[in-house]
Chains A and B, each alone.
Chain A
Amino acid sequence: MVPDLSKLENIFESNPKEPGSLIAVLQDIQKEFRYLPVAALKETARILRVPLSTVYSASTFYKAFSLTPRGEKVIRVCKGTACHIKGADLILEQLESGLGIKAGETTPDLKYTIEVVNCVGACAMAPVMIVNDKYHGNVRCDRVLRLVKKD
């Protein structure tokens, strides 16, 4: 899959072309492509006049960025404190065995990505899982896979 880099133009238009825009531009690219294509990062370095190494460094420092394509459905399992003591590990285990991938990985058909996040701020409903942007609270480990496949 070759990313359509013509979409980059809008992103560069809507941000000031200066080094200070680096994080904002990377966020926009991540949103547009669901990951950071190498070619897009090289273009970012050129347009914002930031060393490529810095662009790569930022891409690996912040968790919001991914250098490999993410799945259509990004399943984020919250591992905040409340979720941890209420069994977030079980949910993750169900997902990992059910989808056959580990946290941080994407299924080969690019359908699912499992991610672990450090607290999404819905602790009162722990344990919490987010499928794309949809929050699921009080998730039971025996319902995890059904929830994922349903949405």
Chain B
Amino acid sequence: MKFRFEVIPSLCIGCRTCELACAFTHSRDKKPGRSRIYPIAYADDKYVPVVCLQCDDAACAKSCMFDAIHRNEETGAMEIDQERCVKCMACVAACPYGCALVDDIHDEIVKCDLCEGTPACVQFCPTKALVYRRL
């Protein structure tokens, strides 16, 4: 892995720009996709942007019986191969952080793919609470 995605909750103001950026980046057929990132309030006006941690020993990949989730060695992202995915929801159930998601609009299981190396959320975060940096 050459890159790491970092979140700095203290900078997050819960503006949900990342959500919009993510959804629009993943649009298809003129329809935005489901956002893979969520600023979630843990206290009044305090937020944590919850997004896939791209775990080393990732439960999503382990739970996939059809070998559809693999790490992109370039970006470090655990990616779902939609051609192999049969939407059995194993990863959705297994991810300990709830970061494998059902995209009802496109009828797919989705998760953060780090936008192939240029995460839109990072670009659009007004407070620089999201960082993607080379190791």
Touch test A–B (CB under 8 Å): no
Residues of B within 8 A of A (CB): none
Residues of A within 8 A of B (CB): none
